[in-house]
């Protein structure tokens, strides 16, 4: 019998053409009769099988080849029923060697009454399989890093697995808060089946996915038709050609159950070895994607919702108010702001403790939510202040609603075995009479609320024009601010200068060393005394003076760093706050470059602190300025992170190098246990994105130790040092600061 010619029996007239073609084919080819007997093969198959070609003829192919758990009849029937039978995987049993994994492609051949089954197989070795898994991992991680949605990531993962193993269909299920299964991705499963299992309660007898999530271990159903776990549900999968299932639990880093990853097969069979390795990688990728998505959602929640009550925060309130006022301008409908402050809350908080105060705030929020309708927004601004945005509500309806609020809040409640009767003072401002924009309405409602407190509390007041003392104060302060800037820029003597820079150390927590100092502006007025930056910096932005103020701070602080360097004072770097308004002009990078060059300061020794609001702007000039500063080598830090538009996409999109955790999160870190997970989440997000994390407002040792334990890199606050003038900082470094800062032996502490 010759090598190829006699390897076929002569039943088909086209044998010679088939033999000639097969002999030249690079892949392994074998063809069989209906019972699986080999009637022909090419040299490639003989080499792969490790058996002489002559010895193969007449042998049963099922004895040489594992069809991925399927029996021969299923393979034969599947090939006859489809013009293009689906590919599969298997393992070729080779003498004195481990089985060889192969990809299988089938084709039925007919010639008159004779029917053969042709199988083409290619050796898919372990290296190729490992490379396929590695590519899958890399592609999925890139999607996660790019900020794609969880559904996009999981859909992509399922489709890639199905491309690597065409004989399977994939699904990813998530466990929801009610312990139910939710379909997260199932691109190839029949929609009827996916809809049927979505929302099922998780349990050991709820198919393979329910079992895997319930038991915390893989669940294999070789035959859905015979598996009792599928008894109530098997009709739908069987009707749609799903015959077997293998589901694996997806667990988080804390072993918490997140969901399941499942492979479905179209015929009864176990999972192939390659499938097991593939799924092992996919389960880890799913866990990473799910936890990353939840961390991102947590950051977004911090940006727009109050962490204690779950109500919208000031930022979300402002967004909704702006939209409501824009609509009201077109429809001429009123918009009401109701400002509510709990009476004597500070006394309750100070005397009974923060835990009691927090429970009171939560109860107040719960009661208030019941009083408002769809379309209204109830927000917590912070502390004991709540604001309700009421589109379409006029003064008369607002008055009635305020009375209901006062009555509802005054019902006694028991907290920590104490009976409290909460009351509130309410101020109301109505658009358009009391203001055309959100800030104005909020200011007027706030003024009205204080008048209600002055009148005896537990009552409501509407804004009146004679309450506008704040507007008068604003005008006076604007004029004084302009005059102070004129004098400062004119070069008045230091002792008469209205502005002064104080510097607050930022300390690296492990090991203790000075990281840099932050320049903070101080204004002393002849009549008002020290004016808080919280008051005059926003005013400078509103009245167009912030450019001059920021420029003076930048030039003065960089020059001071230059003098320290020249004198040998060991100050490693400088942080300067820059207003979001300042970036719009476009000349900031040039000004920074000039200031650094004039004082011999490397760009990487300067950090500019910016707000989250700046990251949201779509002005091209702002984006260009950020990129130019980054290219210069300046570090960009997001100040007060978590109080505005916290977004992972913006952190990735812009060249940010640092996050500053807002002091509101640090303030009660050692008192309120709810704050610690939030701070931990921000630190972990910073670490994941390669950003330095700075905690500001660190005042107590317990806060310091908690931050250090969570991996926070830098601390700033009264725990280490208060802001101080330049000469006082030098004395601090030489004295008290040595407790926190290790200075070089040759450092100089006099100028």
Give the span between the Cα atoms of 350 and 671, in whole angstroms: 13
| 747 assigned to some structural domain | no
What pLDDT score does 312 carry?
Answer: 94
Q: What is the mean pLDDT of residues 76-103?
A: 72
In the numeric block, the tokens 């991705």 are attached to: 185
| 746 assigned to some structural domain | no
Whether 445 and 513 share a structural domain = no
- H-assigned helices in 577-647: 580-583, 588-599, 612-616, 620-632
Whether 264 and 319 share a structural domain = no
For 442, the token pair is: 């909020």
Banded model confidence at residue 8, pLDDT cuts 50, 70, 90: very low
Q: Which residues pair with 460 in a beta bridge?
A: 426
Whether 176 and 52 share a structural domain = no
Torsion of CA 557, 561, 566, 572, to 10 degrees: 180
Q: Is the pLDDT of residue 115 over 90?
A: no
Other Cβ atoms closer than 10 A to 184: 25
- The two beta strands, 606-611 and 635-641, are parallel
Q: What is the mean pLDDT of residues 518-535?
A: 92
Domain containing residue 200: CATH number: 3.30.450.40
Whether 655 and 514 share a structural domain = yes
Whether 137 and 258 share a structural domain = yes
For 476, the token pair is: 């006076």
What pLDDT score does 14 carry?
Answer: 57
Peptide bond into 432 cis (omega under 30): yes
Q: What is the mean pLDDT of residues 338-358?
A: 87
Q: Which residues pair with 201 in a beta bridge?
A: 180
Banded model confidence at residue 742, pLDDT cuts 50, 70, 90: low
Is 170 within 8 Å of 158 (Cβ atoms)?
yes
Peptide bond into 735 cis (omega under 30): no
Name which of 429, 432, 449 is nearest 441 in CA terms. 429
Structural domains in the chain (count) = 4
Other Cβ atoms closer than 10 A to 85: 18
Q: What is the pLDDT of residues 190-209, one digit of tens each?
A: 999 999 999 999 999 999 99
Lowest mean pLDDT among 77-81, 486-490, 565-569: 77-81
Cα separation values, 722 from 47, 135, 605, 696, 729, Å: 80, 52, 22, 12, 10
Side-chain half-sphere CA neighbours of 217 within 13 A: 1
Give the span between the Cα atoms of 552 and 554, in whole angstroms: 6
What pLDDT score does 748 carry?
Answer: 58
Domain containing residue 60: CATH number: 3.30.450.20
Side-chain half-sphere CA neighbours of 629 within 13 A: 29
What pLDDT score does 703 carry?
Answer: 93
- The 3-state DSSP class for residue 571 equals coil
Q: Is the pLDDT of residue 229 over 50?
A: yes
Structure-model confidence comparison of residues 164 and 558, the more confident one? 558
Banded model confidence at residue 182, pLDDT cuts 50, 70, 90: very high
Q: What is the mean pLDDT of residues 553-560?
A: 96
Whether 235 and 335 share a structural domain = no
Whether 357 and 215 share a structural domain = no
Whether 106 and 171 share a structural domain = no
Considering Cα of 521, then 527, then 529, then 531, what sign does the dihedral take? negative
Q: What b-and-e string marks burial along 533-559, b requiring 16 or more CB atoms within 10 Å of the CB?
A: eeebbebbbeeebbbbbbbbbbbbbbe
What pLDDT score does 700 carry?
Answer: 93
What pLDDT score does 2 carry?
Answer: 36
Q: What is the pLDDT of residues 292-318, one digit of tens each?
A: 999 888 887 888 899 899 999 999 999
Give the span between the Cα atoms of 181 and 201, in whole angstroms: 6
Q: Is the pLDDT of residue 750 over 70?
A: no
Q: Is the pLDDT of residue 4 over 80?
A: no
Question: Measured over all CA atoms, what is the biggest interatomic distance in the chain, rounded to whole angstroms?
Answer: 115
Q: Is the pLDDT of residue 708 over 50?
A: yes
- The 3-state DSSP class for residue 397 equals helix
Domain containing residue 534: CATH number: 3.20.20.450
Last residue of a domain, one of 406, 434, 467: 467
Cα separation values, 394 from 390, 425, 467, Å: 9, 19, 20
Domain coverage including residue 220: 128-302
Q: Output the 3-class SS for 154-222.
A: HHHHHHHHHHHCCCEEEEEEEECCCCEEEEEECCCCCHHHHHHHCCCECCCCCHHHHHHHHHCCCEEEC
What pLDDT score does 649 carry?
Answer: 66
Q: What is the mean pLDDT of residues 687-693?
A: 91
| 745 assigned to some structural domain | no
What pLDDT score does 13 carry?
Answer: 43
Is 309 within 8 Å of 342 (Cβ atoms)?
no
Q: What percent of the chain has pLDDT over 90?
A: 45
In the numeric block, the tokens 């609603």 are attached to: 401
Banded model confidence at residue 566, pLDDT cuts 50, 70, 90: very high
- The two beta strands, 385-391 and 335-342, are antiparallel
| 340 assigned to some structural domain | yes
Side-chain half-sphere CA neighbours of 194 within 13 A: 16
Rg of the chain over CA atoms, in angstroms? 36
Whether 443 and 513 share a structural domain = no
Q: Which residues pair with 576 in a beta bridge?
A: 519, 608
Last residue of a domain, one of 124, 148, 164: 124
Q: What is the DSSP letter of 434?
A: T
What pLDDT score does 11 carry?
Answer: 42
What pLDDT score does 125 carry?
Answer: 63
Lowest mean pLDDT among 248-257, 579-588, 654-663: 579-588
Is 45 within 8 Å of 30 (Cβ atoms)?
yes
Q: What is the pLDDT of residues 413-460, one digit of tens each?
A: 888 778 888 999 999 999 998 899 999 999 999 989 988 887 888 999
| 557 assigned to some structural domain | yes
> 629 phi and psi, to 5 degrees?
-65, -40
Whether 486 and 434 share a structural domain = no
Give the span between the Cα atoms of 747 and 750, in whole angstroms: 10
For 203, the token pair is: 């349990």
| 750 assigned to some structural domain | no
- The two beta strands, 385-391 and 28-32, are unpaired
Q: What is the pLDDT of residues 614-626, one digit of tens each?
A: 766 655 677 888 8
Q: Is the pLDDT of residue 1 over 50?
A: no
What pLDDT score does 84 carry?
Answer: 66
Whether 372 and 360 share a structural domain = yes
Strand order in the sheet with 424-431: 377-382, 385-391, 335-342, 424-431, 460-462
Q: What is the pLDDT of residues 123-162, one digit of tens each?
A: 766 567 778 788 888 889 999 888 889 999 999 999 888 8
Q: Determine which helix (DSSP H) or strand (DSSP E) holds 500, and give its type and residue range.
A: strand 499-509
Name which of 619, 652, 618, 624 is nearest 638 in CA terms. 652
Q: What is the pLDDT of residues 530-553, one digit of tens each?
A: 999 988 998 888 778 888 999 999
Whether 456 and 481 share a structural domain = no
Domain containing residue 364: CATH number: 3.30.70.270
Q: What is the mean pLDDT of residues 333-359?
A: 88
Mean pLDDT for the chain?
Answer: 86
> 222 phi and psi, to 5 degrees?
-65, -30
Is 596 within 8 Å of 588 (Cβ atoms)?
no
Last residue of a domain, one of 410, 438, 467: 467
Q: Is the pLDDT of residue 6 over 50?
A: no
For 692, the token pair is: 């330095």
Structure-model confidence comparison of residues 93 and 117, the more confident one? 117
For 729, the token pair is: 């900082």
Cα separation values, 350 from 354, 358, 668, Å: 7, 12, 14
Q: What is the mean pLDDT of residues 474-494?
A: 85
What pLDDT score does 623 carry?
Answer: 81
What pLDDT score does 249 carry?
Answer: 96
| 501 assigned to some structural domain | yes
What pLDDT score does 721 carry?
Answer: 93
Q: Is the pLDDT of residue 285 over 70?
A: yes
| 175 assigned to some structural domain | yes
């Amino acid at each position: 019998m010759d090598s190829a010619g006699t390897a076929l029996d002569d039943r088909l007239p086209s044998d010679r053409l088939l033999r000639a073609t097969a002999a030249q084919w690079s892949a392994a080819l074998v063809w069989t009769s209906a019972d699986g007997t080999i009637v022909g093969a090419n040299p490639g198959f003989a080499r792969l099988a490790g058996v002489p070609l002559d010895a193969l003829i007449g042998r049963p192919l099922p004895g040489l080849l594992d069809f991925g758990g399927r029996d021969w009849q299923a393979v034969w029937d599947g090939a006859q029923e489809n013009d293009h039978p689906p590919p599969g995987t298997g393992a070729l049993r080779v003498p004195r060697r481990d089985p060889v994994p192969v990809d299988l492609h089938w084709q039925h051949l007919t010639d008159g009454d004779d029917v053969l089954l042709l199988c083409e197989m290619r050796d898919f070795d372990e290296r190729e399989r490992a490379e396929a898994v590695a590519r899958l991992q890399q592609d999925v991680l890139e999607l996660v890093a790019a900020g794609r949605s969880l559904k996009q990531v999981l859909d992509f993962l399922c489709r890639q697995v199905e491309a690597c193993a065409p004989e399977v269909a994939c699904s990813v299920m998530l466990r929801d808060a009610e312990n139910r299964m939710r379909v997260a991705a199932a691109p190839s499963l029949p929609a009827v089946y996916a809809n049927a299992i979505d929302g099922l309660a998780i349990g050991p007898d709820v198919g393979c996915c329910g079992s895997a999530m319930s038991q915390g271990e893989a669940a294999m159903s070789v035959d859905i038709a015979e598996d009792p776990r599928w008894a109530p549900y098997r009709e739908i999968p069987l009707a749609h050609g799903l015959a077997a299932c293998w589901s694996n639990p997806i667990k988080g880093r804390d072993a918490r159950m997140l969901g399941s990853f499942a492979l479905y097969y179209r015929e009864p069979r176990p999972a192939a070895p390659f499938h097991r390795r593939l799924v092992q990688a996919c389960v880890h990728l799913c866990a990473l994607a799910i936890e990353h998505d939840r961390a991102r959602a947590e950051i977004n929640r911090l940006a727009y919702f109050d962490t204690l009550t779950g109500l919208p925060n000031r930022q979300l309130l402002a967004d909704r108010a702006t939209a409501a006022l824009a609509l009201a301008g077109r429809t001429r409908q009123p918009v009401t702001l109701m400002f509510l402050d709990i009476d004597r809350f500070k006394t309750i908080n100070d005397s009974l403790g923060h835990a009691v105060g927090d429970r009171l705030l939560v109860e107040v929020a719960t009661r208030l939510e019941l009083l408002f309708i769809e379309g209204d927004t109830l927000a917590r601004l912070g502390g004991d202040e709540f604001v309700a945005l009421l589109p379409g509500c006029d003064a008369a309806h607002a008055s009635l609603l305020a009375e209901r609020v006062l009555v509802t809040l005054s019902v006694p409640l028991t907290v920590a075995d104490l009976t409290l009767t909460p009351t509130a003072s309410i101020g109301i401002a109505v658009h358009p009479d009391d203001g055309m924009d959100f800030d104005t309405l909020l200011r007027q409602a706030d003024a009205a609320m204080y008048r209600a407190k002055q009148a005896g509390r537990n009552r409501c007041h509407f804004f009146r024009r004679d309450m506008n003392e704040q507007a008068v104060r604003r005008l006076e302060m604007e004029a004084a601010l302009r005059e102070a800037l004129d004098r400062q820029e004119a070069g008045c003597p230091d002792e008469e200068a209205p502005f002064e820079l104080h510097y607050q150390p930022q300390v690296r927590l492990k090991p203790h060393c000075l990281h840099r100092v932050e320049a903070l502006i101080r204004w002393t007025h002849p009549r008002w005394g020290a004016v808080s930056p919280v008051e005059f910096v926003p005013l400078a932005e509103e009245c167009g003076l912030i450019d001059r103020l920021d420029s003076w701070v930048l030039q003065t602080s960089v020059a001071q760093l230059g003098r320290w360097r020249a004198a040998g004072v060991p100050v490693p770097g400088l942080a300067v706050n820059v207003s979001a308004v300042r970036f719009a002009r476009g000349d900031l990078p040039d000004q920074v470059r000039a200031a650094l060059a004039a004082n011999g300061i490397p760009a990487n020794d300067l950090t500019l602190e910016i707000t989250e609001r700046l990251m949201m702007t779509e002005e091209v000039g702002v984006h260009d300025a950020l990129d130019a500063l980054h290219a210069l080598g300046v570090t960009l830090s997001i100040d007060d992170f978590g109080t505005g538009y916290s977004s992972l996409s913006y952190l990735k999109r812009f060249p940010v190098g640092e996050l500053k955790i807002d002091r509101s999160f640090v303030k009660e870190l050692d008192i309120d246990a709810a704050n610690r997970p939030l701070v931990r989440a921000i630190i972990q997000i910073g670490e994941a994105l390669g950003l330095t994390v700075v905690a500001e407002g660190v005042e107590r040792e317990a806060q310091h130790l908690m931050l250090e334990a969570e991996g926070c890199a830098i601390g700033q606050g009264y725990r280490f040092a208060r802001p101080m003038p330049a000469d006082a900082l030098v004395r601090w470094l030489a004295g008290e600061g040595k407790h926190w800062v290790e200075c070089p032996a040759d450092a100089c502490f006099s100028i």
